[in-house]
Structure 1
Amino acid sequence: MWQKNFAIASVLAALFTIMTHAVAGIYKLVDENGHITYTNTPVKGGQKLQTSSSETRVVAKAMTKAPLTIGGFPKVTDSQQKKRDINRRQILESELASETKHLVEIQQALNEAIKNMRSAANHNTQLLPDTDVSENENINKLRKQISLHERNIMALRAELGNR
């Protein structure tokens, strides 16, 4: 008897986990330096990009109406799912456009910083020691930001490719 109850509890826990993940959506986290990271798992301080209050209500309502079985997932009509998919795609495409714009801006800033550093070196300009160090730190910071935006763009493209 306890084995049957344990099996049922295990199935219910697995289904709850799957359903929770199914409505999890995409989260956007902006750190104190303005760096943006996207993830499909909830993070402290993250903003959920896909509105899913109706999705969450559907899942919660389905869970309270009847015991869940393997086939007990909430159903949505094809037109409802299509609307959700279109909305999600628009959000992802908007975020991709924003990330691409930021990447281009930071790449331009990096190119300008490198150009200025080379120009100063070519003109044998006497730089203060702190200036040279801060220029290198600025270039490293810009390179890290570029790397972050490139990772975000890859993640967004991968997610768009999954739909």
Structure 2
Amino acid sequence: MRIIDLSVIFVTTLLGFASIAVAGKEIYKLVDKDGNVTFTNRPARHAQKVNLASFSGSANTHTANTLVQKPVNAPSTIKNNAQKERDGTRRQILEKELHTENKLLSDTKQSLSQISQSDDNLQDGKIAQLKSKLFLHQRNISALKKELSRL
């Protein structure tokens, strides 16, 4: 009985570590009804899977910073020019997303400022919603800057 309990614990622990190893290998982009963009490593309803395979910054798939796995049949080396082109394209995509997030953050701050100045107590719900949007934009900007710093 004791050996069975230990084997169940071992298998459960092993499955837990396996799920951690799999997490983070895919990125999803979610745009809500208000146009807010959120990037996550968790699949979500109506989220689009972001294909970064062609923009991978490293041929080594064993590092923690790699977002995608190299396909099994992919060549083991990539020519420098091709890799530089991919990195440049990836940087352009990330910079475009960063610009969009900065614009949305600015717009949200402006809306929050305008509503906060009004005397209407009915705006409390709207203020909470805008603060939530503000937090999401700040989080997305931070994640995009972190990813850009890796290039």
Bin of the TM-score, shorter chain as denominator length: 0.5 to 0.7
1:61 is aligned with what amino acid?
Answer: N
Q: Which residue of 2 aligns with 1:90?
A: 92
Higher relative contact order (CA 8 A, sep 6+): 1
* Structure having the higher Rg: 1
Distance 1:42 1:136, change over 3 A: closer
8 Å contact kept, 1:50–1:88: no
Which runs of structure 1 show a deviation greater than 2 angstroms over 4 or more consecutive aligned residues?
31-35, 41-56, 58-62
Q: For structure 1, list consecutive stretches of 5 or more residues without a partner in the other structure.
A: 1-13, 63-72, 121-131
Q: Which residue of 2 aligns with 1:61?
A: 73
Q: For structure 2, list consecutive stretches of 5 or more residues without a partner in the other structure.
A: 1-17, 57-67
Give per-residue Cα distances to partners, 1:97-150, cap 9 Å, x unaligned.
000000000100000001122xx6xxxxxxxxxxx2x30111111111001100
**Percent of matched pairs sharing the same residue:** 36
Higher helix residue share: 1
Q: Take 1:157 and 1:74, find their aligned partners in 2: how far apart are those partners? A: 29
Q: Which residue of 2 aligns with 1:161?
A: 149
What TM-score do you get using the length of structure 2 for normalisation? 0.64
8 Å contact kept, 2:105–2:138: yes
Q: Take 2:86 and 2:99, find their aligned partners in 1: how far apart are those partners? A: 20
